[in-house]
């Protein structure tokens, strides 16, 4: 999702939004990336004003500006082929018991709204028909060779024709839900409901804010994202974001500590192990060699993940931030699942 030149008032709004998702380029550089996803790009059509329907969930004025998206899941790690060791890829033994970090202040966890269980039926897989404004030649490792494609969205995609988007190849979607400890994407509830009605497998993600405690952020996500049968695992989106009002850059040790607190809370609540979404610069600074028993969703828009994140196994690959599709105005992030169609169905069944 690309951040183009915007009017002054838009940039001022970005400064107020604590947590815009800034996706970095696939370069091993010493400075944070300026590349962003379409979740913060200026939409080509006006974003509908969608009020948050819950009376007890309110956004603070400082949290109403655009930010970027994230994701999460919790529970036992699924073991489809996507997680099997690959030749030449170093692996680490799976710990039999993982300590739970407890350094964050305890926060009373509100009860998330429950939604009735959905039937466990295999959904039809549609071939991808997406186009790309800035296509990349990935050569023999092209994501187009993989079977199950999907997208991620936020308020910046506006009103979506979910039925049409699904037939274009959106077999799954991750929907921006929350960031920080007080911001709810104003389109989350509508997108969550409409994607389900269209038969798309969907999950929610949270953009992590380094100026808030992990416990507060986990409670905020749990308060707003239903614990629903059939939903994909929740996602924690961890990145450095130069556009955020929070300029803090904590140490790698503190980064991992805060992430662990957040993920442990979500895993206990949803019964699924969260997925970690990240970008190259943040991964290089904080996550290389860490969280080997967690599923990863990797952004890599210029090269295959094996070149940008050597040795890291992954479940999802975000291969473009400049996709276009029927059913959506403007650009959209494109993603692919690491495995065959059979692997996908197995993974979804284990994630439930």
Distance of CA 122 to the CA centre of its chain: 23
Q: Which helix (H) or strand (E) holds 162?
A: helix 162-167
Q: Mutual orientation of helices 252-270 and 214-224 as an angle, nearest 10°? A: 30
Q: Which helix (H) or strand (E) holds 153?
A: strand 149-153
Rounded CA-CA distance 66/11 in Å is 10
Told to judge if 239 belongs to the known catalytic residues of this protein, a careful annotator would answer yes
- Report yes or no: 254 and 90 within 8 Å, Cβ to Cβ: no
H helices present in 168-246, as ranges: 188-197, 214-224
- Report yes or no: 195 and 150 within 8 Å, Cβ to Cβ: no
- Report yes or no: 276 and 259 within 8 Å, Cβ to Cβ: yes
- Report yes or no: 213 and 3 within 8 Å, Cβ to Cβ: no
Q: Which helix (H) or strand (E) holds 347?
A: helix 341-351
- Report yes or no: 243 and 40 within 8 Å, Cβ to Cβ: yes
Rounded CA-CA distance 312/193 in Å is 34
Q: Which of 35, 69, 228, 239 is catalytic?
A: 239
Would you state the structure tokens that stand for residue 248, as one six-digit string? 């803090």
- Report yes or no: 208 and 217 within 8 Å, Cβ to Cβ: yes
What is the DSSP pairing of strand 131-132 with strand 235-238? unpaired
Neighbours of 186 (CB within 10 A): 17
Q: Which residues are catalytic?
A: 239
């Amino acid at each position: 999702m690309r951040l183009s030149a915007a009017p002054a008032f838009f940039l001022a709004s970005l400064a107020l939004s604590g947590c815009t998702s800034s996706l970095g380029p696939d370069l091993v550089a010493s400075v944070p990336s300026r590349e962003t996803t379409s979740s913060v790009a200026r939409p080509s059509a006006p974003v509908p004003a969608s009020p948050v329907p819950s009376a007890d969930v309110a956004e603070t004025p400082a949290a109403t500006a655009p930010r970027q998206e994230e994701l999460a899941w919790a529970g036992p790690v699924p073991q489809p082929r996507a997680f099997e060791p690959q030749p030449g890829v170093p692996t680490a033994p799976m710990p039999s018991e993982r300590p739970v970090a407890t350094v964050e202040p305890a926060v009373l966890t509100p009860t998330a709204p429950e939604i009735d269980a959905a039937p466990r039926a295999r959904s039809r897989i549609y071939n991808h028909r997406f186009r790309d404004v800035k296509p990349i030649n990935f050569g023999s490792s092209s994501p187009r060779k993989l079977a199950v494609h999907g997208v991620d969205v936020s308020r910046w995609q506006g009103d979506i024709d979910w039925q049409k988007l699904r037939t274009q190849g959106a077999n799954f979607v991750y929907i921006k839900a929350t960031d920080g400890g007080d911001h709810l994407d104003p389109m989350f509830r509508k997108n969550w409901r409409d994607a389900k009605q269209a038969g798309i497998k969907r999950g929610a993600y949270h953009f992590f804010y380094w100026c808030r405690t992990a416990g507060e952020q986990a409670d905020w996500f749990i308060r707003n994202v239903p614990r629903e049968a059939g939903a994909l695992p929740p996602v924690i989106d961890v990145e450095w974001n130069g556009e955020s009002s929070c300029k803090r850059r904590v140490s790698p040790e503190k980064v991992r500590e805060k992430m662990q607190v957040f993920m442990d809370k979500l895993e206990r609540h949803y019964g699924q192990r969260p997925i970690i979404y990240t970008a190259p610069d943040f991964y290089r600074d904080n996550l290389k060699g860490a969280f080997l028993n967690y599923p990863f969703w990797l952004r890599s828009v210029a090269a295959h993940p094996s070149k940008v994140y050597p040795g890291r196994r992954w479940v999802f690959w975000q291969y473009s931030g400049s996709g276009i599709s029927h059913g959506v105005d403007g650009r959209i992030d494109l993603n692919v699942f690491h495995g065959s169609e059979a692997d996908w169905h197995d993974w979804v069944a284990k994630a439930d």
